[in-house]
């Protein structure tokens, strides 16, 4: 995923945002997923004028932003994920 995102941005002559801006974007994306979950499972129903998105779309949007953040910080997500999995497997 990291290479796909990096290649996409390079092909469009785009650069990564600064980490603090990516973090703000991530919070915005998580808020959008939260809204969708609240509409589906919470006390606040969706208004007729509000359009919803699929959970998968919102989660993928979050994942894209996380990959951008990792790339901008030169983090290998596969290695980091493997470390976390070892942590949970040993609990």
Q: Report pLDDT digits (tens) over 19-47.
A: 999 999 999 999 999 988 988 898 877 77
What domain range is 57 assigned to? 2-89
pLDDT at 11: 97
Query: For the chain, what is the domain count?
Result: 1
High-pLDDT (> 70) share of the chain, %: 100
User: Region 11-23: what's the mean pLDDT?
Assistant: 97
Exposure string (b/e) for 9-20, b if CB count within 10 Å is 16 or more?
eeeeeeebeeee
CA distances from 34 to 2, 42, 58, 64, 89 (A): 25, 10, 9, 17, 28
- Total-model pTM: 0.88
Domain holding 14: CATH number? 1.10.287.1080
């Amino acid at each position: 995923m990291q290479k796909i995102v990096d290649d996409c941005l390079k092909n469009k002559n785009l650069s990564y945002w600064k980490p603090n801006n990516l973090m703000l974007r991530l919070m915005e994306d998580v808020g959008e997923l939260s809204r969708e979950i609240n509409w589906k499972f919470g006390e606040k129903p969706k208004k007729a004028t509000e359009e919803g998105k699929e959970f998968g779309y919102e989660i993928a949007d979050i994942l894209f932003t996380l990959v951008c953040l990792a790339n901008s910080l030169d983090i290998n997500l596969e290695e980091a994920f493997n470390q976390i999995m070892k942590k949970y497997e040993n609990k």
